[in-house]
Each structure stands twice: as C-alpha cells, then as structure tokens.
C-alpha cells in the first residue's frame, strides 16, 4: 500500500512550495501586505535565534517572524525587509508527534501564524480566533 504524499517527510523545497501556496491564498488586503515579506525555510533555527528567544530546544520552534509588524511601523522605521522563517525538522517532529494532522495543513498553519505577526497580531490575538490548538 502506498502512503499519500502528505504522509511522507517533506524536503525544504516542498515545504517552501506549500508555504508559498498558503501565502498566495491570502485574501485582499493581506495578499498585498504579505508580498513584501521574505519567506525562508531551513531545517533548524540557528543557535543565535534560540539564544535571542531564550529557548533551549530547537524542536520547540516551528516558525518565526522577524521584522517590525505593520501596526508598529512609522516613517522612521528602518527599511529592512520582514522575514517569515519556517523550520522543517521541528515541523516534522510536531507532525509525527501529533499524528492527527496532515503535514501540508500543519505547514499552512505555521505559515499563516507567522504572517499574522507581520500583520500585527499577537499570539493571544491569534489564539482567540484560531481553533488549531484546542
């Protein structure tokens, strides 16, 4: 019996494709606001990222938004691009541990969550409308 494609561990290119598809599906005005954001998929967060966040376990970080949220920008905000990063190995670990979600759906969820930070939403804001963790 052949496993469906979403049940196999995905490589960085596949996760990038799924994350880009999630971004492409954002409705207006979010689609335009998301276009300026760099999207990077790596296997792991760097030690510097973990240190900056005060985290010890790389498996605890599936994604990260770096930048100034749109709601906090002003004319004197440095013109540095915002970045959404997804981390493949922690995503795969969460997917395997949960056992109840489709891998592409998990990648989409992490992507949307990190872009929500770009739009200015806090984790508490996201949790109020996102039933994912219930």
DSSP 38-63: EEEEESS--HHHHHHHT-S-GGG-SE
Percentage of the chain modeled with pLDDT above 90: 55
How does pLDDT run across 12-54, given as a tens digit for each residue? 999 999 999 999 998 888 888 898 899 999 999 999 999 999 9
Determine the pLDDT at residue 134: 47
**C-alpha torsion sign, points 71, 83, 13, 99:** negative
Rounded CA separation 109/113 (Å) = 6
pLDDT 10s digits, 13-23: 999 999 999 99
Q: Taking the model in full, what pTM does it have?
A: 0.84
């Amino acid at each position: 019996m052949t496993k469906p494609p979403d049940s196999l561990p995905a490589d960085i290119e596949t996760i990038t494709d799924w994350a880009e598809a999630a971004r492409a599906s954002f409705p207006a005005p979010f689609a335009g606001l998301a276009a300026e954001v760099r999207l990077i998929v790596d296997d792991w967060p760097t030690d510097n990222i973990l240190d900056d966040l005060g985290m010890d376990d790389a498996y605890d970080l599936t994604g990260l938004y770096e930048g100034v949220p749109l709601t906090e920008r002003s004319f004197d905000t440095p013109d540095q691009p915002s970045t959404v990063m997804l981390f493949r190995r922690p995503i795969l670990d969460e997917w395997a541990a949960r056992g109840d979600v489709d891998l592409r759906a998990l990648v989409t969820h992490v992507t949307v969550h990190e872009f929500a930070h770009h739009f200015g939403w806090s984790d508490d804001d996201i949790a109020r409308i996102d039933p994912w963790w219930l």
